[in-house]
Amino acid sequence: MKRDARIALTAPRLWAMGAAVLCALAPPAAAQDYTHLVEVRAGSPLSQLARDAVFLDQIYSDGSSIDLAPWYATGWQDLQMTWLTEIDASSGVFWGFSTGEQGGKYRIDPALTLGFLNVQDLEDGWTVSLSTTFRFGGRLAEDACVADYGAIGGVQQVNCRMSGSYLPPAETLDYLWDEAPEGQLDLNLRWELKF
């Protein structure tokens, strides 16, 4: 299982190295004043969903239990970073990425973030801002397990998290994760009065 953990960490490390290369190729010092790191976050709601699966109890008819940690625990959480690059005094572009995450039986794909911000100062202290961001990628997918149900059902594919349930193994496959990330498209309109 240790070999699988090293393989699972390879993709996030490659994305992290890619991010380091992007930072190294950043614009010269004079232009860097116009690019700001606005978010760094480890983990996501989809990461939390996978981590919560570690604590599910799977107890079989013979009283034995199975530890789901090797399949749903990981040493690397999805790392998300977002920057804002100013275009002019009132507009900017959001850009960023997430590294993705992978465990023994699930994966969260890497993602790219792109967006736009516009801020307008109005009369009498009013300010209006419009921002939008879109995430490409970041989907959670889960793989099935293979279980031996003995004389009753033989060897079958089953949802790992539901292998000890009363549902027939084939029906548990309908509950495999195939989830899009929250907030794929964010649109914010904000009015502000300064007094």
Predicted confidence at residue 92, as pLDDT, reads 92
| Distance between CA atoms of residues 37 and 100, nearest Å | 19
**Closest to 161 in 3D by CA, of 149, 138, 182, 177:** 177
SS3 state at 2:
helix
Which residues lie closer than 8 Å to 8 by C-beta, 6 or more apart? 74, 76, 102, 103, 104
Q: Which tokens go with 192?
A: 């502000």
Dihedral over alpha carbons 10, 13, 19, 22 (to 10 degrees):
-70
The b/e string for 137-175 (b: 16+ C-beta within 10 A; e otherwise) is: bbbbebebbebeeeeeeeebebbbbbbbeeeebeebbee
Residue by residue, pLDDT tens for the chain (195 residues) are 333 443 444 445 555 555 555 554 455 544 456 888 988 988 888 888 888 887 777 766 667 777 788 888 888 888 999 999 998 888 899 999 999 999 889 999 999 999 999 998 888 888 899 999 998 999 999 999 888 777 777 888 888 888 777 888 889 899 999 988 887 888 899 988 877
